[in-house]
Amino acid sequence: MGLRSVVGAHWRVILLVILVGVALVALFVPGGLLPQDEFAGGGNESADAGASPTNLAYGLGLDGGTRISAPVVGTTAEELEIEPDRAGEVEATLEDELGVDSANVSVQFHQDSGFHTAELFVDDVSHEEFAAALRAAGVDATEGDVRDGVTQSTRDSIIRTIETKINEAGLSGGRVSQSSAPNGQYYIVTEVPDRTPAELRTLLSERGIVEVRAHYPDGEGGQTNETVLEQGDFAGVDPAAYNEQNGHHVPVSVSEEAAPEFQAAMNEYGFTGPGVGQCGFGEPGTDGQNYCLLTIVDGEVVDAHSMGPDLAGPMRSGEWVEDPQFVMLAPSQTEAQALSVNLRAGSLRAPLDFENDRTFSVEPALAEQFKLFSLVTGVLSVLTVSGVVYLRYADRRVAGPMVVTALAEVVILLGFAAAIRMPLDLSHVAGFIAVVGTGVDDLIIIADEVMEEGDVNSRRVFASRFRKAFWVIGAAAATTIIAMAPLAVLSLGDLRGFAIITILGVLIGVFVTRPAYGDILRYLLTGE
Amino acid sequence: MGGFDVPEIDYTPYSDRQLAAVPLAVLALALAILLGWYLLTGAPVAMGIEFAGGTELTVDTASDRAEIPAAFDAEPESVQAVQAEDDRYIVQFASTDESALSEQAAANLEPAGDGEVVQSVTSTSAAFGAQAQRTALLGVGAAFVGMSVLAFALFRTFVPSVAIVVSAFSDIVIPLAVMNLVGIPLSLGTVAALLMLIGYSVDSDILLNNSVLRRGGDFTESVHRAMRTGVTMTVTSMAAMAVMAVAATAFGIDLLSSIGLILFVGLAADLLNTYLLNLSLLRWYVHEGVAR
């Protein structure tokens, strides 16, 4: 028999062996099939490297960590026709009419639709009030134009900000995504290893709006406040630092556009003259004498300092704008770090609604146990299946390849998961067990059909019986895929992984492993 | 044949009505339970925390089980010990204030060993749960409709296709009723199991219909041929699911244990539905329906 005819006769088995081989490489050879960072969504490679014997990536349930899914607070009015130059004016009117901060109103133009949207990031304004305020701003809007939720661009911006925040906070392996419910509500899903729910929630609930406010005498014995720097005015922000002179601080530089104005304000309000070193913020009896620069995060004063002589000098002479840098002080390392992260990541465009969230958290130690336990559970299930099949057929020629083929299916799937670095969770484990279950069912159909009524003595008889068996298998596979498809598409918590693994398993089964089992069985039964 | 063989059942003494009566009575009973549950509680099945909202804590503590409820301001809905691990308990609450509950657990429960008291937290707000309920209902509905359409497309005759759809429906309803009886609430895992049941249950029905309708030959012989394969399949899966349910329960892995248990019950219901309900409909169809 020439090589070509051998390959021609056994190509199904050969394909199975090749796929199993590739899967084993993807699973066990360090580095796997693809370069580490190709598909790794910032996964946990660094933590796993060296420690794990396989290239499998694990999800939260099997690796430990915290996940919070929360909707975004806000309402949106869509398809508004606003003259491009009036957007700012509309925003200002909305702020006045509804009594909300400028940070909580956003009017945007959308290139693709050609319309404007107006968003409110508060939860205490009704659709009707929103529409009325829009009409007051001269925009044609009705209650029907207003819906709950925010725009995609706002969600994208929130996702980017959170990504920066968790990276800046040193949480490697964090993931941020959005998921949607059938009624159109969206959730922002944040996953990080090594943080408790309370810590992650603190990180996410800080909106991180930073501003610097001048707090100075009003000339009538009291104090007045003026915002002098906002988030967008900073050009560069360094990581938090510490030195003897300043304590904990964050070195920052102010943008070219904002620097002259800031310098002028400091000189005008007296910060560079009488105010140097004069700050007793919060101390009684100091009203009318305080010159404080307040660092304010989310409306709370985190720090108050007067201007030092080193900064006041160049400001007074007007040289400071040439190199507009200063340091923002903070009372502790944690707050300095938070300040730096907030300045660099930018603020969350809208807050997250933790009243309507879902939190899931597993300690790494427990997750490690789940890995072992689910492996044991899976192995026990496979052994049970093998036992029943042996009992039923009492023929090693039939039952042996059946178990081996079903396992090959799992190996190929695992290899696939390792290759694309799909993070495995408990639901995937359930999927693998389901795959063994459906796989063996189909192999039973093939075996029974082929061995029906006496021996199979020719290839022709075998082929005709195999075809009949395959009709049933194809039909059954199609139903399983249809039954699982909704779960694979809808984001129902952890179940997507289960559905995806089951569907992939069925596909690999129908196209690769079951035909190969047919060939093996034919060889064993007919000797051809 | 070796260890066990599928027994050949003689259906001839029973009329189609007698055969169908048993599974239909079980289905009616199951529907009655779901209806009764609906009238009493406002929902046909008890919703787990993933759908109703609430918090589940997994705690490792040296404190006694009886002392656990006193550690929290809110009364736990349930406290369940994990068999495979001493000192580990799964505590469920209707409250969704997971940070307060975690703090109370850490403050008031005695740690077991060096690890954290709170090992795992799952908290779902009521609104999120309601959303998940709608999604799950949509998913199960879409899967069922898709399966029904496929059944009709495959056989293109009314009675055999309806037989498949009715037994799949019954395969889902019976485990739901059993869940109520033994006190398993509906969770993401059980929903996955119900969808999986649609796939599994249709396998044996397709096998039976295919054997009788497409292969021809004597009815009894065709049925026995299909049963030999189908029962082996279902029993194998049931064995695997039983082992998975027992092992996962001992290890305290809720998701796997509920999938295992529901599939086990559903597959048992499937034996009943396929070989009594579907079979009686098929026999009526082959002997009388075709002639009409």
Q: Among the ranges A466-470, B11-15, B276-280, which has the highest mean pLDDT value?
A: B276-280
The angle subtended at Cα A116 by Cα A111 and Cα A120, nearest 5°, is 130
Q: Model confidence over A248-307: pLDDT tens digits?
A: 888 888 888 888 888 888 888 888 888 888 887 777 777 777 888 888 888 888 888 888
Q: Does residue A162 lie in a domain region?
A: yes
Q: Model confidence over B51-96: pLDDT tens digits?
A: 888 888 888 888 888 888 888 888 888 888 887 777 888 888 888 8
**A463/A148: higher pLDDT:** A148
Q: How far is CA A394 from CA A7, A398, A404, A520, in A?
A: 31, 8, 16, 17
Residues A77 and A118 sit within 8 Å (Cβ to Cβ): yes
Does pLDDT of A41 surpass 80?
Answer: no
Same domain, A51 and A193: yes
Does pLDDT of A349 surpass 50?
Answer: yes
Same domain, A519 and A448: yes
**B204/B290: higher pLDDT:** B204
Cβ neighbors of A440 (< 8 A, separation 6 or more) are A385, A389, A402, A403, A406, B233, B236, B237
Q: Compute the average pLDDT of residues A351-377.
A: 86
Same domain, A402 and A516: yes
Same domain, B135 and B21: yes
Return d(Cα A167, Cα B261) in angstroms, integer. Answer: 41
Question: 């129908």: which residue's tokens?
Answer: A510
Which residues of A are less than 8 Å from B229 in CB distance?
444-445, 448-449
Contact A392 B236 (CB under 8 A): yes
Q: Model confidence over A200-237: pLDDT tens digits?
A: 888 888 777 888 888 888 877 788 888 888 877 888 88
The proportion of chain A whose per-residue pLDDT surpasses 70, expressed as a percent, equals 93
- Is the backbone of residue A208 left (phi > 0), alpha (psi -120 to 50) or beta? left
Same domain, A105 and A217: no
Does pLDDT of B291 surpass 70?
Answer: no
Does pLDDT of B3 surpass 50?
Answer: yes
Q: Which of A:337-376 have CB within 8 Å of B?
A: 355-363, 365-366, 369-370, 373-374, 376
Same domain, A380 and A482: yes
- Minimal C-alpha gap between A398 and chain B (Å): 12
Q: How many domains does chain B have?
A: 2
The CATH number of residue A26's host domain is 1.20.1640.10
Q: How many domains does chain A have?
A: 4
Q: How far is CA B18 from CA A284, A513, B11, B205, B284, in A?
A: 93, 42, 10, 20, 12
Return d(Cα A336, Cα A224) in angstroms, integer. Answer: 26
- Which of B92-95's residues contact partners 24+ apart within 8 Å by CB, and which partners? B92/B49, B92/B54, B92/B55, B92/B56, B92/B57, B93/B54, B93/B55, B93/B56, B93/B57, B94/B52, B94/B53, B94/B54, B95/B54, B95/B55
Same domain, B156 and B227: yes
Q: Which of A:264-323 have CB within 8 Å of B?
A: none
Return d(Cα A442, Cα A452) in angstroms, integer. Answer: 15
Q: Compute the average pLDDT of residues B143-156.
A: 89
What mean pLDDT, rounded, does chain A reach? Answer: 82
Residues B2 and A394 sit within 8 Å (Cβ to Cβ): yes
The helix or strand, by DSSP H or E, that contains position A474, with its residue range, turns out to be helix A459-489
Q: Which of A361, A398, A440 to mutate to test the interface with B (most CBs of B within 10 A)?
A: A361
**A40/A241: higher pLDDT:** A241
The pTM for the full model equals 0.77
Does pLDDT of A322 surpass 50?
Answer: yes
Residues A474 and A507 sit within 8 Å (Cβ to Cβ): no
* pLDDT at res. B270: 92
What are phi and psi for residue B28, nearest 5 degrees? -60, -40
DSSP string, B164-231: HHHHHHHHHHHHHHHHHHHTPPB-HHHHHHHHHHHHHHHHHHHHHHIIIIIS-S-HHHHHHHHHHHHH
Please name which of B155, B167, B168, B278 lies closest in space to residue B223, comparing C-alpha atoms.
B278
Final residue belonging to a domain, choices B79, B94, B124:
B124
Does pLDDT of A42 surpass 60?
Answer: no
Q: Among the ranges A136-145, B148-157, B216-225, which has the highest mean pLDDT value?
A: B148-157
Strand partners, A117: A108
Residues A108 and A94 sit within 8 Å (Cβ to Cβ): no
* pLDDT at res. B172: 92
Final residue belonging to a domain, choices B71, B103, B124:
B124
Confidence of residue B267 (pLDDT cuts 50, 70, 90): very high
Question: 């997507």: which residue's tokens?
Answer: A496
Return d(Cα A390, Cα A399) in angstroms, integer. Answer: 6
- Reduced DSSP (H G I as helix, E B as strand, rest coil) percent helix, strand, coil of chain A, to 5: 55, 20, 30
* Burial degree of A183 (CB within 10 A; 0-12, 13-18, 19+): exposed
Q: Does residue B36 lie in a domain region?
A: yes
Which residues of B are less than 8 Å from A507 in CB distance?
none
DSSP string, B115-134: S-SEEEEEEE-HHHHHHHHH
* pLDDT at res. A52: 67
CA atoms in the 13 A half-sphere facing the CB of A115: 14
Q: Model confidence over A116-173: pLDDT tens digits?
A: 888 888 888 888 888 888 888 888 888 888 888 888 888 988 888 888 888 777 666 7
Domain that holds residue A163: 42-74+152-207+348-362
Residues A347 and A209 sit within 8 Å (Cβ to Cβ): yes
* pLDDT at res. A40: 40
Return d(Cα A93, Cα A265) in angstroms, integer. Answer: 27
Q: Model confidence over A394-451: pLDDT tens digits?
A: 878 888 888 888 888 889 999 988 888 888 888 888 888 888 888 888 888 888 887 7
Confidence of residue A43 (pLDDT cuts 50, 70, 90): very low
Q: Does residue A37 lie in a domain region?
A: no
The CATH number of residue A132's host domain is 3.30.70
- Minimal C-alpha gap between B84 and chain A (Å): 10
Same domain, A291 and A383: no
- Minimal C-alpha gap between A129 and chain B (Å): 24
The proportion of chain A whose per-residue pLDDT surpasses 90, expressed as a percent, equals 1
Return d(Cα A504, Cα A383) in angstroms, integer. Answer: 22
Contact B134 A182 (CB under 8 A): yes
**A362/B214: higher pLDDT:** A362
Same domain, A130 and A240: no
| Candidate from A8-12, A23-27, A170-174, A263-267 with smallest mean pLDDT | A170-174
Q: Which of A:67-126 have CB within 8 Å of B?
A: 69
DSSP state of B73: S
Does pLDDT of B27 surpass 90?
Answer: yes
Strand partners, B106: none
Q: Does residue B137 lie in a domain region?
A: yes
**Interhelix angle B219-251/B188-209, nearest 10 degrees:** 160
Contact B143 A452 (CB under 8 A): no
Q: Does residue B59 lie in a domain region?
A: yes
Final residue belonging to a domain, choices B93, B124, B155:
B124
User: Which residue of chain A has the CA closest to B243?
Assistant: A381
The CATH number of residue A53's host domain is 3.30.70.2040
Residues B23 and B170 sit within 8 Å (Cβ to Cβ): yes
What mean pLDDT, rounded, does chain B reach? Answer: 85
Q: Model confidence over B228-253: pLDDT tens digits?
A: 888 988 998 899 889 989 998 888 88
First vs last C-alpha separation in chain A: 12
Domain that holds residue B227: 16-48+127-286
Same domain, A278 and A376: no
Residues A480 and A437 sit within 8 Å (Cβ to Cβ): no
Which residues of A are less than 8 Å from B214 in CB distance?
471
Q: Model confidence over A59-79: pLDDT tens digits?
A: 888 888 888 988 898 899 888
Confidence of residue B25 (pLDDT cuts 50, 70, 90): very high
* pLDDT at res. A307: 84
Which residues of B are less than 8 Å from A198 in CB distance?
99, 102-103
Contact B198 A381 (CB under 8 A): no
Return d(Cα B243, Cα A383) in angstroms, integer. Answer: 10
* pLDDT at res. A184: 75
Please name which of B240, B31, B209, B192 lies closest in space to residue A431, comparing C-alpha atoms.
B192
Residues B49 and B92 sit within 8 Å (Cβ to Cβ): yes
Q: Does residue B9 lie in a domain region?
A: no
Does pLDDT of B283 surpass 80?
Answer: yes
* pLDDT at res. A50: 43
Is residue A410 within 8 angstroms of chain B, CB to CB? no
| Candidate from A36-45, A310-319, A472-481, A484-493 with smallest mean pLDDT | A36-45
* pLDDT at res. B81: 83
Confidence of residue B28 (pLDDT cuts 50, 70, 90): very high
Same domain, A250 and A280: yes
The CATH number of residue B100's host domain is 3.30.70
